Amino acid sequence: MKYYKKVSGREKITCLLCRHYCQIKEGQVGICGVNKNVKQNLETIVYGHPIALNVDPIEKKPLYHLLPSTTALSFGTVGCNFKCPFCQNWDISQEKKVDKSIKVTPKEMVDMALKHGSKSIAYTYNEPTIFYPYAKDIGVIAKEKGLKNVFVSNGFLSPEIIKDMSSWLDAANIDLKSWDEAYYKKVLKGGLEGVKDTLRLMVSEGIWVEVTTLLIEGENDSDKDLEKMAQFISNDLGRYVPWHLSAFHPSYKMQDHKSTGFNTLKRASDIAKKAGLYYVYMGNVPVDVNTYCPDCEELLIERSGYLVTANNLVDGRCPKCKTEIQGVWK
């Protein structure tokens, strides 16, 4: 697809990568800082220039229903289309300077994943939507080689990109950061309705989706908001969509804010289960993050941190009652 369109009668172009739809003047960049108008063409200046690259357990993304106990070659670039004050990777997401001395072609990225025995490539650490042209070129090759492709995203992708990515992207973990539109716009510089629409579209396009909410006490943890989030996931996405409830720890511009307590996570988890969600996981705290059959409660996948200690699934089904467990298991 073409990642931009020209503004009629002007030197501006409209970037189509995310829902900001930045109108960019000649020589300027969009909100993300890394997509530039160069002679009325969109140039992704981080293309081929990752700044962070690691081999991670897929559980760290977190994705619990995709190829358990395998690893993902994970990478990100500089830049982001949000301004979250609690960002854990702010040193790269809020950076605009591109280190062009680091060069990794799409083929080299895939070869690296294969060399390390990874079963997937994760586009993560910063917002992958902003380097989508690079991600897609990698992802198409990865798919041909039998690898899965995973986005870890804030969910502000444009509908055009979601439609395009359905041909090569297998799964995504999407942040649902709050249930307050004003908070999204004022603090995060995004939009709740756009994220909700992204989640619906991804599910409808057949992309496996898991949702993460970083709970910050006093910001996004009211019973009312948690109930609405849980109902949205259950009713609009599906009761089988996993919801990861993660504890906040002080970071970036929120160093003085206290860490999220266990009782807050437990309260949120109880609300989620009351709404009918099958798979609710608490993160960043030392608790049970196992997967159980929603029908007979048989232990299916046992985890200790990011380590899978037992996987009892049989062809994606519960070994006891034969219920199909939704996910990507092969």
**pLDDT score, position 8:** 82
| Torsion, CA 49, CA 92, CA 25, CA 158, rounded to 10 | 90
pLDDT digits (tens, 9 = 90+) for 67-118: 999 999 999 999 999 999 999 999 999 999 999 999 999 999 999 999 999 9
**Nearest-angstrom CA–CA distance, 157 and 16:** 9
Q: In one letter, which amino acid is 94?
A: Q
pLDDT digits (tens, 9 = 90+) for 215-245: 999 999 999 999 999 999 999 999 999 999 9
Confidence band (pLDDT; 50, 70, 90) for 322?
very high
**Nearest-angstrom CA–CA distance, 55 and 73:** 5
Q: In one letter, which amino acid is 138?
A: I
pLDDT digits (tens, 9 = 90+) for 45-60: 999 999 999 999 999 9
Confidence band (pLDDT; 50, 70, 90) for 183?
very high
Confidence band (pLDDT; 50, 70, 90) for 197?
very high
Q: Is the pLDDT of residue 10 over 80?
A: no
| Torsion, CA 188, CA 190, CA 194, CA 199, rounded to 10 | -50
Asked if 93 contacts 126 with a C-beta cutoff of 8 angstroms, the reply is yes
Q: Identify the three-state secondary structure at position 132.
A: helix
**Neighbouring C-beta atoms of residue 27, cutoff 10 Å:** 10
Confidence band (pLDDT; 50, 70, 90) for 158?
very high
Sketch the domain layout of the chain as residue ranges. 4-44, 52-289
Confidence band (pLDDT; 50, 70, 90) for 330?
very high
Rounded mean pLDDT, 125-146: 98
CA 224-89-61 angle, to 5 degrees, is 70
**Nearest-angstrom CA–CA distance, 6 and 13:** 4
Which token pair is 215?
């709970």
CA 49-158-131 angle, to 5 degrees, is 0
Name which of 291, 315, 308, 310 is nearest 57 in CA terms.
Answer: 308
Confidence band (pLDDT; 50, 70, 90) for 65?
very high
Backbone angles phi, psi at 57, to 5 degrees: -60, 140
Q: What kind of architecture, by CATH, is found in domain 52-289?
A: Alpha-Beta Barrel (3.20)
CA 53-149-328 angle, to 5 degrees, is 125
Confidence band (pLDDT; 50, 70, 90) for 138?
very high
Beta strands in the chain (DSSP E): 4-6, 13-15, 23-24, 35-38, 41-44, 52-57, 71-76, 120-123, 148-153, 171-175, 208-215, 243-247, 280-283, 291-292, 299-304, 307-311
**pLDDT score, position 213:** 98
pLDDT digits (tens, 9 = 90+) for 263-312: 999 999 999 999 999 999 999 998 989 999 999 999 999 999 999 999 99
Q: In one letter, which amino acid is 330?
A: K
Rounded mean pLDDT, 166-170: 98
Which token pair is 173?
């973990």
pLDDT digits (tens, 9 = 90+) for 15-31: 999 999 999 999 999 99
**pLDDT score, position 104:** 98
**pLDDT score, position 11:** 86
**Nearest-angstrom CA–CA distance, 21 and 93:** 19
How far from chain centre, in Å, is Cα 28? 27
62: which strand partners? none
**pLDDT score, position 9:** 76
**pLDDT score, position 17:** 98
SS3 of 236-276: the string is HHCCCCCEEEEECCCCHHHCCCCCCCHHHHHHHHHHHHHCC
Which token pair is 91?
């040193």
